[in-house]
Amino acid sequence: MKKREFKTESKRVLDLMINSIYTNKEIFLRELISNASDAIDKLYYLSLTDKKMKVNRNDLKIRIDVDKDNRTITITDNGCGMTEKELENNLGVIAESGSLHFKEENKDQSDVNVIGQFGVGFYSAFMVSDKVTVESKSYLDEPATIWESSGVEGYTLSPSTKKEVGTVITLHIKEDTEDYNYSDLLTEYKIRDIVKKYSDYISYPIMMEVENSRKKEDSDEYETYKEVVTINSMVPLWKKDKKKIKNEEYNNFYTDKFYDYEEPLKVMHFNMEGSVNFTALLYIPSHAPYDYYSKEYEKGLQLYTNGVLIMDKCHDLLPDYFSFVKGVIDTEDIPLNISRETLQEDKNLKLIAKSIESRIKKELLELLDKDREKYEEFYKAFGMGLKFGIYNDYGMNKDKLQDLVMFYSSKEEKLVTLKEYVSRMKKDDENIYYACGESISKVSMLPQVERIKDSHEVLYLTEYVDEFAVMTLHEFDGKHFVNVSSESTDLSTEEEKEHIKKENTDNKDMLEKMKEVLEGEVSDVRFTSKLKNHPVCLTTEGEVSTSMEKVINAMPTDEKIKANMVLEINVSHKISDKLKELYKKDKDEFVKYTKVIYFEARLIEGLPIDNPTEMSNLMCDIMAK
């Protein structure tokens, strides 16, 4: 017998399980049945491609045995089984199926959430057992092994004489406590109830010996007898009649299958008939998975054909911008043993993907229309992906996505769609105005915004992809997007314009001098009437805005870009007079002021300052005067 210790993470999860206050302990059975079913799926799928393996689909099953006297529940399957090495790797270490998100920050969360996030599977057996035994024989020709553990101390491995391929898991059920009646789990009624609730759809029979009664022959008396019956209906949820499915069933199926601890935001269950036939059960999650915006996240839908799971995450069924969708597709129109590569080229698969995409879009638009609050919840979780969708692939999909995106509006003070913005525009307005910054409050304080928002609605773009998306869209409903920080947003009256023109000509030398002092940092310095209370701002000329400069320069490439910036000074601010005065009287001081003003303008724009020490020294010089 070999003794082993659990890996650190596993120990922590096990500890959580053993001392769990999680009330929904009965889910252990769902987890074990689901593992058994996966193992059978695997064996069957292998047998489709390997003719040497003789597997008859009708023989595949799961069996549950309850022994009240010895307080055990046994779950037997004839799936692929595990070798000694696999037992050690799969059960000694917390499952690698993306569950390793057990970070320090989770410590304070309730264990409900932690369990949910893991989909912790096998270890949930320890919520109800004080000892778990797993006896398994792999389909690979290797001797069988017994794995056994009574908790965090570790586990043992010993040889077994098991001949049939498959796995037998024996749970030694805990003694009753004040908080939980574990003995209840040892009743036929309870087991059937749990199976019905969580595992009814499992596509293999779940067998159990039950007690029945019948009338004795030639007598009025009844006798009890035992028989083995199938306790699940085996009809997958998506094959059931929509009208007969309760919300709870949809939700349970989702949380179980896709390891989410929260109920989905939306369920879509539909059949398609036509050039290709399929059934879809799709879900929109209510929150983004922890790894959603990372490279680790893998999109895809489960693909079943003729009742067999042929792919767990079929990427090609979902476009990237809808990668948040989870679910199942079942079709008879795709060959059973098909490789990933040939699948990609499959005409029917492409048709299915196309129809799924338009369905998802339709449902989202409907949600936007009918349940704004829910849509906003969705958008907060997944909106960024939609905006990337507009920008990616050279804007190829922008028309499909432009009605789904929202931005914060200065006027409504909430998220609005582009359609809503345009519907509020005044008759002669040509432009959709937007401004960029790190947060709503920062954008609203931008000098350029302050002035324009009195007369025009401004969209606040706070995520770095936003401006790229807007630039890719270029226009919406014939109206062009205009950054309020660009030179083209001058809403001054003719009179004001005349006045500014004169100011700029009269002070040409001074403004030239300022540009010289700033040594190529800005392409121009000029007076403006665009600003209300603020002394200065930076605007941009040309294609590249300051926020784009920020984003691109933060990327890990050598490519650096520079926005063409113009330093604008509020002509009606006292600082303008001060500058004029200094230019005449004190050239040294004038240089200092110019630099400080420029630094300030950068700070307001959220741009970095290369030499903060110089800035502080200059300010102190001025203050000490």
Contact positions vs ligand ADP (CB under 6 A):
31, 35-36, 39, 77, 79-82, 90-91, 95, 97, 119, 121-122, 167
* Least distance to ligand ADP, CB of residue 543, Å: 49
* Strand, coil or helix: 408: strand
117/448 with CB nearer ligand ADP: 117
Angle at 164 between CA 163 and CA 170, to 5 degrees: 95
140/609 with CB nearer ligand ADP: 140
92/395 with CB nearer ligand ADP: 92
* Least distance to ligand ADP, CB of residue 190, Å: 21
Q: How far apart are CA 234 and CA 116, in angstroms?
A: 25
Q: How far apart are CA 223 and CA 443, in angstroms?
A: 81
* Least distance to ligand ADP, CB of residue 465, Å: 33
* Least distance to ligand ADP, CB of residue 77, Å: 5
Element (H, E) at 272: strand 266-272
* Least distance to ligand ADP, CB of residue 2, Å: 18
Radius of gyration of the chain (CA): 33
* Least distance to ligand ADP, CB of residue 113, Å: 17
- Residues paired with 149 in a beta bridge: 132, 155
Q: Is 345 exposed, middle or buried (0-12, 13-18, 19+ CB in 10 A)?
A: exposed
90/545 with CB nearer ligand ADP: 90
Closest CA to 360 of 381, 386, 340: 386
Residue nearest ligand ADP, Cβ-based = 121
Q: How far apart are CA 260 and CA 251, in angstroms?
A: 10
10/594 with CB nearer ligand ADP: 10
415-417, strands of its sheet edge to edge: 415-417, 406-409, 458-461, 431-436, 479-483, 475-476
* Least distance to ligand ADP, CB of residue 132, Å: 11
* Least distance to ligand ADP, CB of residue 184, Å: 24
77/200 with CB nearer ligand ADP: 77
79/205 with CB nearer ligand ADP: 79
43/582 with CB nearer ligand ADP: 43
Give the list of residues 6+ apart from residue 115 with CB closer than 8 angstroms, or none. 16, 17, 20, 22, 124, 261
Single-letter residue type at 181: N
Q: How far apart are CA 590 and CA 258, in angstroms?
A: 65
* Least distance to ligand ADP, CB of residue 171, Å: 13
Q: How far apart are CA 114 and CA 426, in angstroms?
A: 52
172/499 with CB nearer ligand ADP: 172
* Residue located via tokens 């906003």: 376
121/389 with CB nearer ligand ADP: 121
* Least distance to ligand ADP, CB of residue 88, Å: 11
DSSP 327-369: EEEEESSS-SS--HHHHHH-HHHHHHHHHHHHHHHHHHHHHHH
